[in-house]
Amino acid sequence: MADIAVSRAGTMNGAKGRSSLHRLMQRKSTIAFLMALPLILVIALLVAYPAAYSVYLATLNKSMERFVGFGNFTFLFGRETFWLVVKQSCLFAITAVIFKALIGFVVAHFVHNIPTKGQRKWRGMLLVPWVIPPAMSTLAWLWLFDPSYSAFNWILWQFGIDPIPWTGNGSWARFSVILVNIWIGAPFFMIMYLAALKSVPEQLYEAAAIDGATWWQRIWYVTLPMMRNIIAITALFSLIVTFANFDIVRILTAGGPIDYTHIFATWAFRVGIESGDIPLGATVSLFMVPILAVAAVFILRDISQRGNEA
């Protein structure tokens, strides 16, 4: 307070206009810095520091007493489970994102098609999977997939189809994990695409209709180019979230059967926390960084591009 008063007095005197103005600017930036300080502390202490620390941890041995350099990395490269995890993480993320995007796109179109009055109701209903905490809805799926009481198998049984081992067999467990992923994520795409569809000018469609474009041509030559940015950025966001996902696999299969559904996050938890090999767990989770970094670069590029356009 006293500081401000002194500075005010300086401005009043106006003896040295330039330097007091300079001080004023300095004061403003000081206040701004102080206002941003809690944010800086949170980022530095709880995000940047742990991230850097995990790189250091990855170079230690299990008891964390000895420096082993790339020892953990080479150890992982020699393990079959690790390659399984790499394969599954990529498979899950890519398949799930593609289907989320497709379903989101299709559903957004249908919602956009119906009269405006009803859109709110449908949109509200279709976003429910995204609103329920994933841990809770995955429990519902776990129950739907239950080996002895599966409600899906009951329906199949009515049609005379043999029960499906939803979480019991490697391939089916993978399918189930991806299915739950899609179920949770598709509504998010739907909302984003719906917002994008609303921003496409109606005149473009009218022009296309006059030119005799079919519905497919309208989508391909009008809708998609207009939505390209949103499609890309939503897919990238979702790729990051799906790739780093933990809840779904952990609750649905806990990585099983025989590691056939482990992804980086769940395996890192298994190795690092449950088996107590913190350095190896940190190493596993670090393997997520390259893909996250690539996605982040693309998102940032897109955002700065749009910043320039505006």
Partner 1 sequence: MTVVTADNAAVAARPKYGSITKSRRWALRWSYFFLILFAIFFLTPPVYMFITSLKTSAEISAATNPWWVSNPTLSNYIELLTQNQYLVFFRNSAIVSVCVVAITMVISVLAAFALARMKFWGSATLATGVFLTYLIPETLLFIPLFKTFAFIRDALDIELMNHWWTLIILYPTLTVPFCTWIMIGYFASIPKELDEAALIDGATWGQTLTKIFIPVALPGIIAATIFAFTVSWAQFLYPLAFTTSTDQLVLPVGIVTTLIKGDVFNWGQIMTGALLGAAPPLIIYAFLMDYYIAGLTAGATKG
Site residues (CB under 8 A) for partner 1, limited to 146-165: 146, 149, 151, 154-155
Based on the shown chain and the rule CB under 8 A, indicate whether residue 47 belongs to the binding site for partner 1: yes
Site string for partner 1, 17-46 (x = CB under 8 A): -----------xxxxxx-xx-xxx-xx--x
Q: Identify residues 246-275 at the interface with partner 1 (CB under 8 A).
A: 246-247, 250-251, 264-265, 268-269, 272-273
Based on the shown chain and the rule CB under 8 A, indicate whether residue 195 belongs to the binding site for partner 1: yes
Nearest to 278 by CA among 43, 59, 82, 44: 59
Based on the shown chain and the rule CB under 8 A, indicate whether residue 139 belongs to the binding site for partner 1: yes
Distance CA 158, CA 162 (A): 10
Write down the least CB distance from residue 136 to partner 1, Å: 4
Helical pair 116-126 and 80-113, crossing angle rounded to 10 deg:
160
Among 9, 11, 21, 50, binds partner 1 (CB under 8 A): 50
Q: Which stretch binds partner 1 (CB under 8 A): 9-17, 66-74, 78-86, 141-149?
A: 141-149
Distance CA 122, CA 171 (A): 34
DSSP one-letter code for 200: S
Among 92, 99, 105, 141, binds partner 1 (CB under 8 A): 141
Rank residues 104 and 173 by Cβ distance to partner 1 and give the closer one.
Answer: 104
Burial classification of residue 112, based on how many CB atoms lie within 10 Å of its CB (0-12 exposed, 13-18 middle, 19 or more buried): middle
Write down the least CB distance from residue 273 to partner 1, Å: 6
Rank residues 107 and 173 by Cβ distance to partner 1 and give the closer one.
Answer: 107
Residue in this structure with the two tokens 């909302």, named with its chain if needed = 191
Distance CA 101, CA 308 (A): 27
Site string for partner 1, 74-93 (x = CB under 8 A): --------------------
Distance CA 203, CA 112 (A): 16
Cβ neighbour number for residue 88 with a 10 Å cutoff: 22
